[in-house]
Structure 1
C-alpha cells in the first residue's frame, strides 16, 4: 500500500491506503459518490472520506429520546476512544492536539450544527480538522487523519510510522457531528494551498452507506 497510482496517461491518479481503524466502520461523504465529497474544494478536501465506527448492528450509538432533540456526550458512541491507525507508511510531518471533543449532534441538533458550517469554514483548517496527524509517505504527498481524541496523539513530527501503527484515538474534535475518522490526501502540508489527491483503500473506494472492516484486533 501507499503506492502512488497512475492512470493510463501516466498522470498521477491517487494513492492507495490502508483503513485507519480496527473493526467495522460506516462510510460517509465518499468521493465514490460525488466530488467534492464534502461539498467544497477548499482545504484539499475534494477526495476526503469519513469512517464512522459502528457496532455489530451497524449503529454508531444507541438511539434514545435525547438523540432527536439534544446534543449527546461524545463518549456514549462506540467509536469514541477506538484506536486510529496510520493508513500509510511514512514520516509524521505535523500534529495538532489540544482541541476539545465536543458534544455529538444527531436528529434536530444536527440541523442546527449544519447551519453553523459557514462559520467553521471561515475559521480555517484547524477548526475543521480538530486534532490531527499529517503523514508524508514520499515527497509531494501528505495524508491527513483528523478528528482525533484530545490528548491521545502518540506520535511526533519527524517520527517514522508504518501502516497499522497506532497514532491516536477516534474523537469528536473539529467539524464532527459524531466520533469518526476523516482521511484525505494532498500535495503539501498547508491545506489552504495544497491540491487534493484521490485515495483508494486496498485498490477500492467504498461508497457512502457501506460498512467496511479494518484491521483485526
Structure 2
C-alpha cells in the first residue's frame, strides 16, 4: 500500500468519523426534542437570564451563517475532497446541514436545565466562543472563493486538454489555489484527468501509470510561438519527497501568445514533446503528453501565464486567463460557460469532447 492510498484512507476515515459524530449528536437532539419532548421555552418569554439570551442570539447568528456558507467552503474550498470516494462529501455536507438547521431552530428556545444548571451555561459559553469566530471566518472568507479578475482583464484561452478533468488548485485566491502565494503563479491551475466517478487514479495509485492523467495529450491553449522547451527529466515517483530544485516545472513548454505573455505547460512526460523552440503553432495543436516530471506529488498538468519566458518566482508577474467556451460542473450538473474560469474541485471538459 503506497503513501497516496494511505493518505486517502486516512482522510476518508477521518471524515467518516466526523459524519458518525455529528449523526449521533443529531439523532440524540432529535429524540430529546421531538420524541421525548423535553420542555423548552422561547428565550423571548424568559424575563431573567439576559446573559443566556445574549448567548442564544449569538448562537442563532452563528448557525445561520454556517448554514449559508458551509456548502461553499466544503464543496468548493476543501482540498481533501478529491482524495475521498465521490459520495463521502455529499453525505458529510448533508449531515452537517441538517445538524446546523436543527441547532439553528433550537437556538430560539432554551431548556429548563439550561436555566438552572451552571454547567450548561458554561458549555453554552464555550460553544459560542468556538462558533462565533468560526462562522465569522467562513463569512468573511466566502467572497475569496469566487474572487477572480473580470473578463476584460483576462487572456482568453482554449482548454489544453480533452475529456473530463478536475481542478485540484485553481482560482484567484489562496482559499482555492495555493499558487496565489506566489506572484509569478497567482492564477496557475493544476488539473488531473478523472473517470466517470471523479477518481483521478486507479488501483493503489503507487505508480505513475496508475493515474488517468499520465500520457494524456496536451494541446496549445492559444496560438503563438514556442520559445522554450525542456524535455530531459524522468518522471518523479508518486508522492516523492525529493524536490527538483534545478527545474521544478520538469519537462515543460513555454508559448509566447502575446507581447510579454507566456503560457507555461509543465510536468510533461519525457520524450513526448512534439514541438521545438521557434515553432509557430495554433491553438489546439498537440504539444506533448502529461507526466509527473519536476516537483509534483502525482501526475497532473500545471498551466499559468506570466510576463517572462523563464521560471522566476521572485520577479515574474502572473496574469489571469479564462476559457472561451467550456462545459463545467461546479455543483451537480453540467453547464456551458462562455469566458469561464476554474475553481478548486471544478470538473470540466471542452464542448463536445
TM-score band, normalised by shorter chain: 0.7 to 0.9
The question of 1:38 aligning with 2:172 is answered no
1:140 match? 260
Conservation of the 8 A alpha-carbon contact between 1:19 and 1:215: no
The question of 1:100 aligning with 2:234 is answered yes
Shift of 1:141: 0.6
Conservation of the 8 A alpha-carbon contact between 1:20 and 1:86: yes
TM-score by length of 2: 0.49
TM-score by length of 1: 0.78
Higher helix fraction (1 or 2): 2
Shift of 1:32: 4.1
**Residues 49-198 of structure 1 correspond to what in structure 2 (within 5 A)?**
49-64=189-204, 67=205, 72-105=206-239, 113=241, 120=244, 123=245, 126=247, 128-192=248-312, 193-198=315-320
The question of 1:19 aligning with 2:159 is answered yes
Q: Which of 188, 209, 216 lines up with 2:345 in the alignment?
A: 209
- Over 3 Å counting, the alpha-carbon distance change for 1:180 and 1:191 in structure 2 is same
Shift of 1:214: 3.1
Give the number of aligned pairs. Answer: 188
Conservation of the 8 A alpha-carbon contact between 2:174 and 2:181: no
Between the aligned partners of 2:229 and 2:237, the Cα distance in structure 1 is 23
> Structure 1 residue runs of 4+, over 6 Å off?
none
Between the aligned partners of 1:216 and 1:99, the Cα distance in structure 2 is 34
SS in 2 for 1:129: coil
Conservation of the 8 A alpha-carbon contact between 2:172 and 2:186: no
Q: Can you list the C-alpha shifts for 1:87-138, whole angstroms capped at 9, x where unaligned?
A: 1110001010111112222xxx7xxx4xx6xx55xx25x2x21100000112
Shift of 1:154: 0.4
Between the aligned partners of 1:216 and 1:150, the Cα distance in structure 2 is 30
For the aligned residues, what is the CA RMSD? 2.3
Higher strand fraction (1 or 2): 1
Larger CA Rg, structure 1 vs 2: 2
Q: Can you list the C-alpha shifts for 1:142-186, whole angstroms capped at 9, x where unaligned?
A: 000001011100001110111111100010011211111110001
Which of structures 1 and 2 has the larger relative contact order (alpha carbons within 8 angstroms, sep 6+)? 1
SS in 2 for 1:81: coil
What are the ranges of 5 or more consecutive residues in structure 2 without an aligned counterpart? Answer: 1-148, 325-338
Between the aligned partners of 1:213 and 1:145, the Cα distance in structure 2 is 18
Between the aligned partners of 1:213 and 1:160, the Cα distance in structure 2 is 26
